[in-house]
């Protein structure tokens, strides 16, 4: 149980290479972020160019898809941006943004006493006197503080675990020390200083101290509650936000496979996750943030009905006696490594289905151009 909780804030496979506080070295986010050179094409989260918007694909996409097919029931919400419905899906390529190690260290541990460190090319590790941990490489930043460890015992984002509790925290409330948007802008400013540019796509969990106190649970190595390692007391000073920041382009979301090993399209696998309170960033987990560049033309998308047939055939062939409800289909961009630090970008449909026999939530990915199912474990 204790090992499971490690991925709650950062996956066990990544903990040694990614744990991330405070905006100390960056003046708590109050400095004016340096302006990067604006690219010729819009980047993450910005609008589609006028040239791209003028192109049509001729493929109609329903807003809702209904069909009964044996043991598979489609009452499916089809989520596609208005721009894509009207003008098609713009072709893209992608490249990974690289953080500046010196700026990262300054921003996250600028006022921290460094107890131990290891600095190698493209691989940096620091430990602070108060248990802060910072790791940096070409594609990721990890930072944590002792406070973030306490929060990880009270806020559990992984839906696959029985003690998931993120749904007990509000999404629609501003805390006294800063509004959600003010906190997000401070985070964005610090990320820009560190060399990472993001858009506006985020989800924010409001972590009020009273809720965290009631949800705190620490397990010993035998799986029993260990009150000796509880925080002790929670006050209003502990009120925090937990930001889940995804990427998108032209209002079409980008699908992110966390560290190439966790393909579930869910908040727990977002490329940027930040714990933020009145003292600044208390935890940062950043993994492969992309810059998108427009390519000529639009993707040639197959009709949605053909995509649905892939799911119908997959579950219709199962002889387990269960029935399946296909609830939602979302059009995504998906990055696929092409070599030389560049990524091709594929359009994919992600279908969300429920196994009515077990209640299990299922996710399937279908290439929107070829109609072939993408099985991540085979990649």
Say what the pLDDT of residue 296 is: 96
Say what the pLDDT of residue 259 is: 77
Spatial separation of the C-alpha atoms in residues 249 and 331, rounded to whole Å: 12
Domain boundaries, the chain: 2-37+95-292, 55-93+299-378
227 phi, psi to nearest 5 deg: -60, -20
Mean of the pLDDT values across residues 114-119? 97
Instruction: Quote the mean pLDDT of the chain.
Output: 86
- Global confidence as pTM: 0.84
Say what the pLDDT of residue 33 is: 33
> Out of 36-40, 140-144, 167-171, which region has the weakest mean confidence (pLDDT)?
36-40
pLDDT-derived band at 377 (thresholds 50, 70, 90) equals: low
Mean of the pLDDT values across residues 171-193? 98
> Out of 1-5, 133-137, 354-358, which region has the weakest mean confidence (pLDDT)?
1-5
Kindly tell me if the per-residue pLDDT of 8 is higher than 70: no
For 31-59, write each residue's pLDDT tens digit.
333 333 333 344 444 444 444 443 444 46
Spatial separation of the C-alpha atoms in residues 149 and 21, rounded to whole Å: 12
Instruction: Find the length of the chain.
Output: 379
Report which of 214, 201, 210, 204 is spatially closest to residue 172, judged by C-alpha positions. 204
Contacts of 337-342 spanning 24+ positions with Cβ under 8 A: 338/93, 341/95, 341/96, 342/93, 342/94, 342/95
pLDDT-derived band at 5 (thresholds 50, 70, 90) equals: very low
Spatial separation of the C-alpha atoms in residues 349 and 332, rounded to whole Å: 6
Decide: residue 38, CB within 10 A, 0-12 exposed, 13-18 middle, 19+ buried: exposed
For 218-254, write each residue's pLDDT tens digit.
998 988 999 999 998 999 999 999 999 999 999 999 9
Spatial separation of the C-alpha atoms in residues 102 and 126, rounded to whole Å: 12
Q: How far is CA 108 from the centre of its chain?
A: 20
Say what the pLDDT of residue 321 is: 87
Spatial separation of the C-alpha atoms in residues 194 and 191, rounded to whole Å: 5
The domain 55-93+299-378: what is its CATH number?
A: 2.40.128
For 296-319, write each residue's pLDDT tens digit.
999 999 999 999 999 999 999 998
Kindly tell me if the per-residue pLDDT of 287 is higher than 50: yes
C-beta atoms surrounding 251 within 10 Å: 15
> Out of 33-47, 64-78, 290-304, 350-364, which region has the weakest mean confidence (pLDDT)?
33-47
Spatial separation of the C-alpha atoms in residues 278 and 238, rounded to whole Å: 8
Say what the pLDDT of residue 372 is: 96
Kindly tell me if the per-residue pLDDT of 94 is higher than 50: yes
| Strand 324-339 versus strand 72-79 pairing type | parallel
Say what the pLDDT of residue 16 is: 38
Kindly tell me if the per-residue pLDDT of 26 is higher than 70: no
């Amino acid at each position: 149980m204790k090992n499971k909780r490690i991925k709650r804030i950062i996956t066990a496979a990544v903990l040694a290479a990614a744990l991330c506080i405070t905006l100390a070295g960056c003046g708590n986010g109050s400095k004016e972020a340096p302006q990067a050179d604006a690219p010729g094409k819009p980047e993450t989260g910005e609008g589609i160019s006028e040239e791209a918007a003028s192109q049509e694909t001729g493929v109609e996409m329903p807003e809702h898809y209904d069909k009964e097919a044996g043991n598979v029931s489609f009452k499916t919400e089809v989520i596609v941006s208005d721009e894509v419905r009207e003008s098609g899906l713009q072709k893209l390529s992608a490249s990974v943004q690289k953080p500046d190690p010196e700026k990262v260290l300054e921003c996250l541990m600028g006022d921290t006493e460094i107890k131990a460190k290891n600095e190698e090319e493209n691989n940096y590790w620091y430990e602070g006197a108060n248990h802060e941990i910072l790791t940096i490489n070409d594609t990721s930043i990890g930072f944590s503080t002792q406070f973030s460890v306490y929060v990880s015992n009270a806020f559990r984002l992984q839906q696959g675990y029985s003690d998931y509790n993120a749904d007990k925290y509000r999404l629609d409330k501003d805390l006294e020390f800063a509004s959600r948007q003010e906190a997000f802008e401070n985070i964005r400013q610090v990320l820009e200083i560190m060399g990472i540019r993001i858009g506006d796509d985020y989800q924010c969990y409001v972590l009020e101290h009273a809720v965290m106190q009631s949800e705190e649970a620490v397990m010993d190595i035998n799986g029993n509650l260990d009150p000796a390692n509880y925080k002790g007391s929670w006050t209003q000073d502990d009120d925090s936000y937990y930001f889940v920041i995804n990427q998108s382009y032209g209002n079409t979301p980008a699908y992110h496979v966390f560290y190439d090993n966790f393909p579930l399209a869910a908040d727990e696998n977002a490329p940027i996750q930040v714990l933020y309170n009145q003292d600044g960033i208390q935890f940062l987990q950043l993994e492969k943030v992309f810059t998108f560049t427009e390519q000529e033309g639009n993707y040639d998308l197959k009709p949605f009905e053909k995509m649905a047939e892939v799911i119908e055939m997959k579950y219709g062939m199962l002889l387990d006696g269960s029935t399946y409800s296909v609830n939602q289909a979302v059009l995504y961009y998906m990055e696929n490594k092409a070599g030389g630090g560049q990524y091709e970008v594929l359009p994919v449909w992600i279908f969300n289905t429920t196994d009515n026999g077990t209640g299990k939530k299922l996710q399937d990915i279908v290439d929107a151009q070829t109609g072939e199912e993408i099985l991540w474990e085979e990649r």
